[in-house]
Chains A and B, each alone.
Chain A
């Protein structure tokens, strides 16, 4: 399992899946939980402490269902990263009703960044967006 947290860092954990990897993000708000899940997902691909969040990428999408919004958010980040051959290390998400506005900061892959494992997509498996005593939890299995 392994929670990871410090004052300002995203709070996330991984959970087991037979072939792939479960990611769960936590936060006081839904948006912070989604951002933490994104951080967990990109941490599978690289050591994000070594990534310079130099340039931002902006995007938005429409989704009324919170669970489908989590999947869409994670998949949209993968799309934006893979299209540019970039890796992201910082995330910001806002939403009003069904409209979600996302921003991610990162840099192009360079030789000195050790490669983790490519995430192909976020799935509906173990998909859940829920409020608990810990705040918001946003989780799903990502296909690697």
Chain B
């Protein structure tokens, strides 16, 4: 990305001023990360800055890359009282895609003798990949309950336990879901997809804590070196995809009717305080609850598998973060508390220390932020900082971010050979899709170290622990 015309206001923040009625823009990250970004990231975030009712700046996180409408890694907050909008393109297709991180009491030494049969058992128990349906089949009334109840609904069905809830954003259930604004197609797609992982960049990974960066935060999060964690990366499955699909088109039509000039049709949006905006908001919240329920069910299935190898050992939820959302949150704007609708498209909420929404054990530390890396490199647990509120409405990076296209990755790697190579490095991959494995090759992603370091240096979140993959179930 060409940085001409951007002012470097700190070593890890580059800015473009407000111009011609558009809001200012902030890019977070090192010069090297920004220069490596696709030019489209700048074009897309420049378009976002022109949307009505935007508060502060349109922002790109250090892992930003070319998306659709918003860049992936795009953050923008809107004031409903100032004509602010909600955008389907600002949330994405995989609504509330996120990561559930589970904390086991086991060490790598305990796990190593059984890692291969454990990976096989997880692969059998977790429906993953194209065309794989879940064992749970829901009726339409049951789906309505899941759409309003989220992870709380899943727990009531016997998947997991109440102790998980404080460690899930929104305590596992977001208010304001409106199943009546979710299409029949969306509901039909979800009937057999609860408790499924999906494909693409989704995964279930068994990881070891390889390095602690912040001992105090690690203690609060219950982390120690050599400990085994499990990360489950997936979202709202077919229902969320269909809500995204339905509203992308209907909001594109609505924007024209409502007199909103879209710099890019994919920014399809409507005022938050409009019937069209309210309908999308209700449907999106329903999809968020489906994602929270889905990860809750997958967490339960994971615990069941571990219990076969390590009976009666508790596996707790470290935290559950969502990436593709628009949430109403209170933020301080020029000294005044306001409710803003914060779009995070491929970005993580990162509340700092003291935030009332954090569970008591983490309140002095800040919210866990999880940067999921590629299957061959590693991931980070970070903690939200006091500075991220002023910098980015408490938002941070969500992943390593792709460094090359899927087509380029397919030319460079072959799935079977890649899986064999990773096995020699001590990372077991289980998948039905060799094509998917090749597209997700570690080399196709940015350096997670650079992204985590930039996230910390920009003041968005601070590093707590580095996690190394040991086994990965890919969809």
Binding site for B on A (CB under 8 A): 14, 16-21, 45-46, 68, 71-72, 75, 78-79, 82-83, 85-87, 108-109, 113-118, 120-125, 127, 141, 143-144
Contact = CB atoms under 8 A, between A and B. Distances in A.
B266 A124 contact: yes
B432 A125 contact: no
A72 to B, nearest CB: 6
28 contacts: A14-B407, A16-B405, A16-B407, A16-B408, A19-B65, A21-B406, A45-B130, A68-B249, A82-B238, A109-B130, A109-B131, A114-B433, A114-B435, A115-B131, A115-B432, A115-B435, A116-B433, A117-B199, A118-B130, A118-B475, A120-B200, A121-B93, A122-B245, A124-B252, A124-B266, A124-B268, A125-B69, A143-B93
**3 cross-chain pairs, A with B, having the tightest CB-CB distances, nearest first:** A109-B131, A18-B66, A124-B266
Contacts of A46: 130
Q: Determine which residue in A16, A19, A71 has the highest number of CB atoms from chain B within 10 A of its CB, and name it.
A: A19
Nearest to B475: A118
A120 B3 CA distance: 33
Interface residues of B, number: 50
Interface in B403-431: 405-408
B406 A20 contact: yes
Interface of B: 38, 40, 65-69, 72, 89, 92-94, 129-133, 185, 188-189, 192-193, 198-200, 238, 241-242, 244-245, 248-249, 252-253, 264-266, 268, 402, 405-408, 432-436, 439, 475
A19 B432 contact: no
Given A120-B93, A122-B245, 16 more contacts: A16-B408, A19-B67, A75-B249, A78-B245, A79-B245, A82-B241, A85-B192, A115-B129, A116-B436, A118-B129, A121-B241, A121-B244, A123-B266, A124-B248, A124-B268, A144-B439
Contacts of A71: 248-249
Nearest to A110: B131
Contact of B265 (A16, A83, A87, A124): A124
A79 B243 CA distance: 11
A90 B268 CA distance: 31
Contacts of B268: 124
A143 B432 CA distance: 20
Nearest to A144: B200
Contacts of A21: 405-407
Contacts of B405: 16-19, 21
Contacts of A123: 68-69, 93, 248, 266
Contacts of B199: 115, 117-118, 144
A122 B242 CA distance: 11
A85 B185 CA distance: 14
Contacts of B94: 120, 143
A143 B200 CA distance: 10
A82 B68 contact: no
B252 A68 contact: yes
B40 A18 contact: yes
Contacts of A18: 38, 40, 65-67, 402, 405
Q: Determine which residue in B38, B40, B132, B249 has the highest number of CB atoms from chain A within 10 A of its CB, and name it.
A: B249
